[in-house]
Structure 1
Amino acid sequence: MFESIGSFVTHQVLYLPVFLANVFLADIEPSEELPQLLTELTLQKVVRAIVIIIIAYACMSMIQAVTNWLSERVPRRFRLLIKQSLPFWKGLILIVTISYLLNLFLNLSETNLLALTGTMAVALGFAFKDYISSIIAGIVALFETPYQVGDRIQIDDHYGEVVGYGLRGIRLQTPDDNTVTIPHNKTWTNAISNANSGQLEAQVATDFYFDHHVDGDKVVQILYQAAYSSKYTQLKLPIVVVMKEHPWGTQFKLRSYPMDARDEFVYQTDLICRAKQAFKRQGFPYPKLWRAAFPD
């Protein structure tokens, strides 16, 4: 249903200017001359356009750098708030720059504006359908916030932290330190898993497996102790241990939260090391390999 709505919105936005332009121009008498669309092109205007583009690019780069620098130096609870303001400032600079350039080179009368909008809609609608769909999805995402800068999300097979929010897509920093660019229009058709949704903490689930004869109460007690003793654990949030039976053994899942979602894998490693030391002292039996491979 969401895909259908997204496609409908995209289609209407692309072709509404064409319809309005046709209706408006139909009322113009054939004898009427349309005002000249382009203004006089001078060297001064070209220089001004180049300067404003350079300034806009410099401002966007500076805002990106300042945001990254400032977010790493403020108290941790303000880090995501600062990063989440980045798309707004970049969008504002882009809108101001485009508006200035259009006003500089075009005679934006009412007639010309409708004619230009209709022409651009037809051209862009066919040539850049997916690109425009991504832009519209990005604008929708600003209000629905399925992801923000600083969130840890998964789209398809890609999981990581949102480190950039652009006009066309987002950039994910994966645990392997790869940067993946994903277009916004994935929100029309793909499920998005968000681990922290703008919060600093994200739940970490750590699995442990034992033979059916293991003492479940002792395992649960050790897992709680491992979580409470870790320096990464956010003690204000709940710590839960759940069990699940399989034909080949018993699964224990420790659910807890690190103080910073960035420490997800370091925190999980710390929990495993602490728990395994205690399990070794207790001599708990692990599942037999043949049972795991051939559960029946």
Structure 2
Amino acid sequence: MQEARWILPAVVLIFVFFAVSFEEVKGQEKPGIVVGSKGFTEQLILGNMVALLMENNGFKVDRKVGLGGTVICHEAIVRGDLNVYVEYTGAALTTILKREVIGDPEQTYQAVKKDYEEKFKLTWLKPLGFKEPFGIVIRKEDADRLKITKISDLKPYAKNFVIGISIEFPARNSVFRLLAKEYDLKFKDQKPMDFGLVYKAIAEKQVDVTMANSTDGQISAFNLVVLEDDPRFFGLRFVPTYYAAPVVRMDLLEKAPQVADILNPLGGKISEGTMTSLNYTVDGKKQVAEDVAQEFLKNRNFIK
């Protein structure tokens, strides 16, 4: 009878032990992560960097890279279709938040971080290091022939030039209108188009001039040049400074706070020169974006 009296308590203890152990293991399970990106080369590289870092740390990752533009990616992460993607502070400030330009890059970063956390339950991790400077791009053959080195040099030729504009530009404080006014440029025509098509258009002479990211690898790949910004229009009064940083759903960080610890060490490690080189490796040398991202992370000892 004494043995029988001990059987039930022992069974209960064993059950409690295994139940607690199961809950501990369950609590340690890493959530699946959906990583997104916009559709152009730089974003494909950065999106794959984020995905590779998460996979290297034991997370199951679903890649949704190449989704589209700023608004598409933003709506996707707000809905919960994405958990993380790399965004630019300038695009967030003017396209998503509809706010006026802030000249100081650190103030811009703090402003979008605060608003994103309050309005969207999204947070910004550390900036990756490079600035995304916009500039005016022209075919090198035209620049050499007409001796155009600065944006102001375009003035006498603008009446014969068609400018190609990314469809996101009109949403950014009417940048094109402000640019034309600042430099007194009266172009023959303007053609709004998807960001991914502007280089093809200028290479095929559908347009003569375009506004583009100065770090884009396609600038070298298509034998284009970035004109000097003599009055420093870009990055000052009208166009905000674009720093890139991972944007993450706050509910993901509540479940897996280590996500920030995994991604934040990448902060400050990608210079403008490095980003330009990575972009060119894809656009000019025709390597795969994921492979380029993986090689960079391995060379910098971020992954094995």
TM-score by length of 1: 0.22
Q: Which has the higher Rg, Structure 1 or Structure 2? A: 1
Higher relative contact order (CA 8 A, sep 6+): 2
